Amino acid sequence: MGRRFVLLDRDGTLIVDRHYLADPQGVELLPGVGAGLRQMRELGLGLVVITNQSGVGRGYFTLEQVEQVHQRLGQLLAVEQVQLDGIYSCPHTPADGCSCRKPATGLVEKAASELDFEPQSCFVVGDRLCDVELGRRIGATTFLVRGETGQINEGKMAMAPDYLVAGVGEVGAILAGLLN
């Protein structure tokens, strides 16, 4: 079996959710993200971001701007001595009916093919119902991150995750317990 991967949501999970973020200067890591991702790396896990960016399809910003935001994210993570294996974005709107907007599994299948991992062996981390649903669909272990104020957004608990956590730092600690 290949390396196991953590599939991470971007907005509200790794960085502050600015709602349709287009400006690289708006990228801000959430507390505990650097340490949590470092811990995952030390456990030998691969790290991939899977993100819905419908702002592209809605005309709010371009794919180039998404790429600039991701370059900035990479810089901030490098300061934390963390490197991602990849970032996969869906640029479509819900109305497009694509196969890659979470909870659809298209981006996971693409990443699994390119990076050689088994989707069902993954750990999916996100702050929304669509993230938990994605994890369920691929047979992965799911972590739901609470909001910044500790709230659970409406509808979130309609589908219970395997773990409810305060943030990515807590995921790192749980994975250390599961995998060691």
Whether 9 is catalytic: yes
Q: How many residues bind Mg ion (CB under 5 A)?
A: 5
Identify the residue among 21, 91, 127, 143 touching Mg ion (CB under 5 A): 127
Q: 97 or 155: whose CB is closer to Zn ion?
A: 97
Give the three-class secondary structure for 93.
coil
Neighbouring C-beta atoms of residue 52, cutoff 10 Å? 27
Cβ distance to Zn ion smaller for residue 31 or 94:
94
56: tokens are 């592209």
Q: Does 87 bind Zn ion (CB under 5 A)?
A: no
What is the C-alpha to C-alpha distance for residues 123 and 22, in angstroms, rounded to an integer? 28
Contact flag: residue 133 with Mg ion (CB under 5 A): no
| Residue 92 lies near Zn ion (rule: CB under 5 A) | yes
Which of 4, 101, 128, 156: binder of Zn ion (CB under 5 A)? 101
Q: Among 9, 23, 96, 131, which one carries the catalytic annotation?
A: 9
Handedness of CA 72, 164, 159, 109 (dihedral sign): positive
Answer with the entry of Mg ion, Zn ion, none that 9 interacts with (C-beta below 5 to 8 A by kind).
Mg ion
Which residue is associated with the tokens 């060691």? 180
Q: Binding-site residue total for Zn ion (CB under 5 A)?
A: 5
C-alpha dist (Å) from residue 145 to 103, 132, 148:
16, 10, 9
User: Facing residues of 15 across strands?
Assistant: 11, 29
Of 11, 23, 96, 127, which residue is the catalytic one? 11
